[in-house]
Every structure is written in C-alpha cells, then in structure tokens.
Amino acid sequence: MAQETLSGWVRKLQAREISSRELTQLYLDRIERLDPQLNSFITVTAEQALAQADAADARLAKGEKTPLLGVPVAQKDIFCTEGVRTSCGSHMLDPFVSPYNATVVERMNAAGAVMLGKTNMDEFAMGSSNETSFYGPVRNPWDTERVPGGSSGGSAAAVGARLVPGATGTDTGGSIRQPAAFCGITGLKPTYGRVSRYGMIAFASSLDQGGPMAATAEDCGRMLNAMAGFDERDSTSVERPEEDFTAGLEQDLKGLRIGLPTEFFGEAGLDERVRGVIDAAIEVLKGRGAEVREVSLPNSHLSVPAYYVVAPAECSSNLARFDGVRYGYRCENPEDLMDLYTRSRGEGFGDEVKRRIMVGTYVLSAGYYDAYYLKAQKVRRIIADDFRRAFEDVDVLLAPTTPELPFALGAKADPVSMYLSDIYTIAANLAGLPAMSLPAGEIDGLPVGLQLIGNYFDEARLLGVAHQYQQETDWHARVPAAFA
Amino acid sequence: MSVDTSEVRRIAHLSRLAMNDDQARDFAGGLSDIFDFVEQLDGAAIEGVEPMAHPLDAEQRLRPDAVTEPDRREVFQAIAPAVEGGLYLVPRVIE
C-alpha cells in the first residue's frame, strides 16, 4: 500500500477509493512502527492530522479538488507551525511553540494537505549528514549504519522509507538534493525567491530556498504548485504569475540540449561507480532524443570556499536573534545581561552552529570584511556568470548530485571534509538557480542521485526531464527492503 | 591562517557565545582548517567584478506605509522565558 506515490494517492482520494482518514492512519501506523529505526520525526502530530483528514474528507465529499486535498505530508522542522513545537533541530528552540504558520505551511494547508508531523534535521540546517541534530542523528533507510544526508535528512529518510508520501525541505547549499540522493528520492530546490521564506527559520537568507521532496518528479511538481507563489511578507519573494509546474511533464526530450559541466566529472573525489551510474543515465536521456555536449564552469572549484564565507556571515547575523530574552532557551540563574546572552547561546547552540557563527562573526569583523565577505560576493558573481554563459548553449545541466555514496555515521569528523560532500550542489545556490536530484541507480544496495540544474524559473522543464527519465526507469519506485 | 585559543575566545565573545579555554582549544583546529580552506578565494580572477548580494540582483521591494499586522503581544509574550506586566524580564542592567 505505502508504495503508492503522492500523485497516485491524490487520484485515489479524488476517486473516493480511500478516505483521507484511512490514508492518514495508514501512514501514522507506519511511523509508529518503523520510525524508531530511523528517528526521522521530531514531532508526530497524530491528533491534529486526523482532524485535518476529517476536514479533507468533508471537502472531498463536496467534490472539491485542491491540489493536495487529503494527502499526508510532513514539514521539515524549520517551518513554523502554529501551536506545534518548531525546534529547527536545536536545543535553543526545543521549548519554542510557534505562534504563527510559515507561508509554506499556510499554502499547503489551503491546498488540503494533512500534516503528520515535523521532520528531523541538522541543527539550524547546518550539516550534510543529520548528525548535528539536538534530537539525535537520522539513519538512512537503505542502511541504518549510514547517514541520510542533510540537512533535510529527516524528510528524505521518511519519504525514502515511505513513512510519508511527500515532505518539505530547505536547500541552502544542497540540503534538499544531497539527502534526496542518499535516500533514493526526488527533491527540487526551486529558483531563489520562488517559495516564500516567511516563517522558514533563516540560516543564510540570500541562499535559503524551500522545496518539495517526494518519490517522483510528478509528485514534486504537484507539491511545488501548492508551495510556490508571491508572498509580500518575504522581501525577496519574486513577483511572477502563478505557474503549473506539472505542465512540462509530458514534453518529450527530442532536441533537448543537455550540458555536462566537465568540472563536475573530472575532479578527484568522484567515485568511479557513481560516475558509471551517471553515464548510464545520460544514455537513457539520449535514447529519448536529448543531445548531450560538454560545457565548462571554470570557477566552480571556488563554490565551496565562497559558500563558507557567505553562508556563515549571514548565519551569524540571522542567529543573533536567539538571545534568551524573547523566546527559546534561557540559561539558569544569569548573573547579568551579558551572562544571560552568552550562556543561553553557549548552552543552547551545538558545536557546528557555534563554529559557523564564529566564522561569520570573524569574516564580518572590522578590518576583515573586504578580505573575506566582499571577495566571496565577487566570486559568487563569476560563478553565476559561468552558468549564464553555459545556458546560452544548453537547456539543462546534468551532473552527479554527490561525489560519493551515503557514508557511515561518524565517518566525517572534521568540518572541511563534511563541507566537501556538497561540492556539486553549492554552485546552484550561489547562482540562485533551480536544481534537483533524482534516483538514477544503485551500488551495493545504496541509491545514487542524478542532478539536473536549470536556468532561472525553468523548474517545469527540469521536472519534465526528470519525469521522462522516470518513465523509462524504475529507480524512483524502489523502496528499501526493510520498509517495503 | 591559524587561530589560537585566545583568538577563538575573542571571536566567541564577539559572537556572544560563552566559552571556556578547553572548548576554545577544541574549536581552534576546525576554525583554522576552515580559514585555510577559504583562502582558495585569493586566487580568484575578480578584478573589477561587482559583488553579488542577491541571485537575481533584485531591488528591495517597497510597500505602502500602512499597518498590516494585528497586535499579538500576548501571544508572543506567552512563549518568552520571563515576562511581567507586559515586559520582558532580564537581569538588572542599571544599579
């Protein structure tokens, strides 16, 4: 039963083959039975979910057809949910019950979605393995000794194990795509500004972007239809007409120009077996009429270093709001105001968050701004310009999502080696481009992700290419044996 | 660039993070590695390049100066660690 996709459930609900209450109960039972192996949920909102399901059933009975009516979903615990703890994976926000909903949550509620709960994540979305969560690591459903990726690792593991048909994620440097690749699911980071950041707890505001995670490209398009749209409460939300992101699904690939960035294939560190999977996927797309050529993104090797200036700088500013005064964690018996601030923050934040706040504080401190932040912003421009030139000759770019297979828990103890696991995903964030990961193969029982990067606002085309690939292959339909 | 324990403590203070010497020592190695790593930017060809603050180079949107949010003070204060008489409580600042 749980093998069905989100889109499949929408059709069955509309056809009244199953009620939203039955479906919601089915997934709540799976979470209760199977999630102890994964730790993918921080909070399960069973009672509220069943009430939402009953409301959806009443609307279905009246013949309503909103895009997600009656379908169970999960929200990454970075999205504020009114009356429900919104922890962001941090001790700092463990006591925080949000007084309002994020725009994404409001929009998905309006579309009829049923929220099963809040998914685990790296603390404040800072991590690539889900090991920095205050609530403990999430485990990969394909091998529970391995990480699910991060930071949206709870959402990825939950969808991969079919504990929920779709979940939200956020992607600042790869946090939707890398865990999607590691857990064998499809995930899309939209163009910067597509999905409102209102009520999405900020990490690096010029990079953060919410997006869908589900089994298929069709599911992601359907979810994005509900999630995306102009929001005057987000100052960087783009004002564009509403768009149907499923419109390009049936578009054939004849004449589609796919670019292979040589820098994403040549560098040391790419697992040869991953490369083999990507090469096979390219052949599938060629077989459906796509044309493939090499392109160059000559400055892409500077992406990770530029990111580790820009993102920490923005994080140090954004996380200054957590001061132990207005909400969240406060230390016991503060001696004075400075002690209140420093101990609340020192005790409330985990090590990786502290590390990034300190890097950001340093690069923004007097005398260092030009040497670090300004320089990184200039590098950001030349990285974006590389993409601009590439898209003069091709329609989409194709690359591995990650250089290697899901790694073991604890395998990457030093920060820089962890940062390099996002080597292929970060450039799209710096440029603000839409990009997605989809399952393209398996090695030793572990999934491999294929990355597609599109031009600005070209999500419908990306999803179309992915959907056409998923018509020819069944990697997206595979579920780890222990969760089938 | 290598940062020592006293430099870590200085940055921690600027960041308003309580940190003792042992913790500062633990952070020094990782922070040094990160600063070494980002030094790769020194080789970038960025002469005359405009810094990029926003991926779409968008201008800040303006809105009419009108009240749009309702007063939710009680709701917001209900989640604060300590409030009294509608005010947020902190340790005494003025003797």
**How far is the C-alpha of A81 from the C-alpha of A251, rounded, in Å?**
37
Coil vs helix vs strand at B60: coil
Contact (CB, 8 A) for A469 and A478: no
- Average pLDDT score over residue span A79-96: 98
B83 at the A interface (CB within 8 A)? no
The alpha carbon of residue B58 is apart from the nearest alpha carbon of chain A, in Å, by 8
- Condensed to tens digits (0 to 9), the pLDDT of residues A311-363 reads 999 999 999 999 999 999 999 999 999 999 999 999 999 999 999 999 999 99
A387 in B contact zone (CB under 8 Å): no
Question: What is the Cβ-side half-sphere exposure of residue A330, based on CA atoms within 13 angstroms?
Answer: 21
Closest CA to A185 of A177, A175, A196, A173: A177
In the three-class reduction of DSSP (H, G, I as helix; E, B as strand; rest coil), residue A62 is classed as: coil
Contact B16 A339 (CB under 8 A): no
Is-catalytic flag, A151?
yes
Contact A345 B31 (CB under 8 A): no
Q: Nearest Cβ partner of A354 from B17, B42, B52?
A: B17
Interface of A with B in 158-187 (CB under 8 A): none
Residues A176-186: tens digit of each pLDDT: 999 999 999 99
Coil vs helix vs strand at A438: strand
Q: What angle do CA A410, A307, A194 make, to 5 degrees?
A: 105
**SS3 (DSSP) at A188:** strand
* Mean pLDDT of the A65-88 span: 97
Q: Which of A100-109, A457-466, B1-10 has the lowest mean pLDDT?
A: B1-10
Peptide bond into A151 cis (omega under 30): yes
A341 → closest Cβ in B16, B54, B92: B16
Q: Is A355 on the interface with B (CB under 8 A)?
A: yes
CB of A204 within 8 Å of a chain B CB? The answer is: no
ipTM over 0.85: yes
pLDDT at A267: 65
Identify all chain A residues contacting B42, using CB atoms and an 8 Å cutoff.
Answer: 375
Interface of B with A in 26-65 (CB under 8 A): 26-27, 30-31, 33-35, 37-42, 44-46, 49-56, 58, 60-61, 63
Q: Residue B33: its chain A contacts at CB < 8 A?
A: 414-416
In this complex, which of A365, A379, A456 lies closest to B41 when CB atoms are compared?
Answer: A379
Domain that includes residue A169, residue range:
6-256+472-483
Cα separation values, A403 from A182, A272, B22, Å:
11, 9, 35
Print burial letters for A56-95: b (CB count within 10 Å at least 16), e (below 16).
bbebbeeeeebbbbbbbbbbbbbbbbbebbbbbbbbbbbe
Mean pLDDT of A185-204: 98
* pLDDT in the model for residue B68: 87
The region that residue A88 occupies, defined by phi over 0 for left and psi between -120 and 50 for alpha, beta otherwise, is left
Nearest CA in chain B to A329: B81
DSSP conformational letter for A478: -
How many structural domains compose chain A? 1
Query: Which candidate from A232, A326, A342 shows the least CB-CB separation from B17?
Result: A342
- Backbone dihedral angles phi then psi of residue A188, each to the nearest 5 degrees: -125, 125
pLDDT band at B1 (very low <50, low <70, confident <90, very high): confident
Are A337 and B12 an interchain contact pair (Cβ–Cβ within 8 Å)? no
Q: Would you call B64 exposed, middle or buried from its count of C-beta atoms within 10 A (0-12, 13-18, 19+)?
A: exposed
Indicate which CATH number applies to the domain containing A205.
3.90.1300.10
What domains does chain B contain, in order, with CATH numbers? 5-42 (1.10.20)
In a domain, A404, yes or no: no
- Does residue A47 lie in a domain region? yes
Round to the nearest angstrom and report the end-to-end CA distance of chain A: 9
Report pLDDT for B55. 84
Question: Contact A345/B18, CB-based, under 8 Å?
Answer: yes
Closest chain A residue by Cα to residue B63 = A232
- Chosen for mutation from B7, B20, B46 (greatest number of chain A CBs closer than 10 Å) is B46
Q: Which residues of B touch A427 (CB under 8 A)?
A: none
- Tell me, yes or no, whether A432 lies in a domain: no
In this complex, how many residue pairs, one in chain A and one in chain B, have their CB atoms less than 8 Å apart?
172
Query: CA-CA distance, A252 to A248, in Å (whole number)?
Result: 9
Instruction: Catalytic residue, from A7, A20, A76, A152: name it.
Output: A76
Q: A429: burial class by Cβ within 10 Å (0-12, 13-18, 19+)?
A: buried
pLDDT at A118: 98
Beta pairing partners, A408: A146
- The catalytic residue among A20, A151, A155, A196 is A151
Mean per-residue pLDDT of chain A: 97
> Is B91's CB within 8 Å of A334's CB?
yes
What pairs with residue A259 in β-bridges? A293, A397
Query: What tokens appear for A382 in the block?
Result: 């030349």
Q: Is residue A388 part of a domain?
A: no
Q: Do B88 and A326 touch (CB under 8 A)?
A: yes
**Residue A181 is assigned to a structural domain of this protein:** yes
Chain B: residue whose CA lies nearest to A300: B44
pTM above 0.95, yes or no: yes
Q: Is residue A424 part of a domain?
A: no
Closest residue by Cα to residue A305 from B39, B1, B55: B39
Interface test with B, best of A364, A373, A379 (most B CBs within 10 A): A379
Range with the lowest mean pLDDT among A37-46, A139-148, A391-400, B57-66? B57-66
A448 within some domain: no
Residue A405 covered by a domain: no
